[in-house]
Homo-oligomer: A and B are copies of this chain.
Amino acid sequence: MKINGNFLNIAESYLFSMTAKKIREFVAETGKDVIRLSIGDVTLPLPAACVEAMEKASREMGNKATFKGYGEEQGYEFLREKIREYYTAKGVDLSINEIFISDGAKSDLGNILDIFAKDNIVYMSDIVYPVYLDTNIMAGREVKFFEGNAKNSFLPLPDENVKADIIYICSPCNPTGAVYNKEQLKVWVDYANRNGAVILFDAAYEAFIRDKSLPTSIYEIEGAKECAIEICSFSKTAGFTGTRCGYTIVPLDLVRENVALNKLWLRRQTTKFNGVSYIIQRGAEAVFTDEGMKQVRQNIDYYLGNADIMRKTLKEMGIWFVGGDNSPYIWLKCPGGMSSWEYFDFLLSHGVAGTPGVGFGKNGEGFFRLTAFGDRDNVIKAMERFKNAK
């Protein structure tokens, strides 16, 4: 038996293990506490509406009359219909046949690659959610990068000389927090349509967008239904990181080589997936009730409130940054010309931990990520430490 040798080409990332080790050592040596502005996970509990829905669904599973066995692989209609309505409110018309429920964006981002041939050229930001890169290395595909930097405010546009087949766009971006506007996304959509490429649009942080002029779905852009797959999740919207539910939209109009990609993805999912738990789908459905939506908004307001406190401090200190207004992430330029790791060590010595930007790609050198998922009191205390750090 021959193994898939491409696995051996995936770089081991030491980013999070290294930051954890440094924090551990600092605490052991100094006895001081460290406030972590490096948390990439939500911390607020699930909305009560979701909890109640899942308790009820659990009980239904224990009663013969209401028990549910296998559901459709693409998800229950009750949930797909709610997502359809959610998009209608954004001005995007979808059919429920274009919506596929999954156990989360990470699974879909990895699994969607099954429907593409190996010999496609993949195009992504150099500063990137590592899953985009690793899944393609695993499949042995060629990857080219577009470069985010301070000059383009970490919102790079395509290089017309690159002929790409599969394009990754994350907006609001993890890790930079930068958000593309409609004009910028139109450039990407037009580029993709000119090249016959497919955009994989990661909208996991769309619920953090509060500026109504910014697009929360790529389908707000004309021509996107002919070139883009949108992948989204309840993880950051409703705190589902440990509950696991997301969805992927493959428009019926997205056709390549005379084959509808919707049909290929349906085939992939019906062959290699058996749907998301009924209980969890009922929990996700509750996100869309009035009560659920209100609770979700309160939670996101809380995180954005944290980000706002951080933004104010950075502005006062004259530190360059993007993000934090329509995103839980802030991406700052390390002051004093420090490298990402130098700044990490410097901040840590003052009791605050963040994430070195270089860990997300070479263009991240000299930059640094802060996240807004922590406690309010800690954020306030951390900003005091920021100001006093010398």
Contact = CB atoms under 8 A, between A and B. Distances in A.
A42 B67 CA distance: 10
Interface string A74-118: 000000000000000000000000000001101101110011110
A336 interface: no
A1 B166 contact: yes
Interface in A50-77: 50-51, 54-55, 58-59, 61-64, 67-71
A4 B115 contact: yes
Contacts of A5: 117, 257
Interface in A245-278: 256-257, 259, 261, 264, 267-268, 271-278
Nearest to A46: B61
Contacts of A378: none
A2 to B, nearest CB: 4
Contact of A272 (B110, B196, B271): B110
A278 B278 CA distance: 14
A149 interface: no
Nearest to A272: B110
A55 B8 CA distance: 42
Given A3-B115, A55-B58, A277 B277 contact: yes
Interface of A: 1-5, 7-8, 10, 41-48, 50-51, 54-55, 58-59, 61-64, 67-71, 103-104, 106-107, 109-111, 114-117, 119-120, 131, 134-135, 138, 165-166, 196-198, 239, 241-244, 256-257, 259, 261, 264, 267-268, 271-280, 283
26 contacts: A2-B119, A3-B115, A3-B117, A3-B257, A3-B261, A5-B257, A7-B268, A8-B259, A43-B69, A44-B64, A44-B67, A45-B67, A46-B62, A48-B62, A51-B61, A51-B62, A55-B55, A61-B242, A69-B242, A71-B242, A103-B277, A107-B274, A109-B272, A134-B271, A243-B279, A244-B277
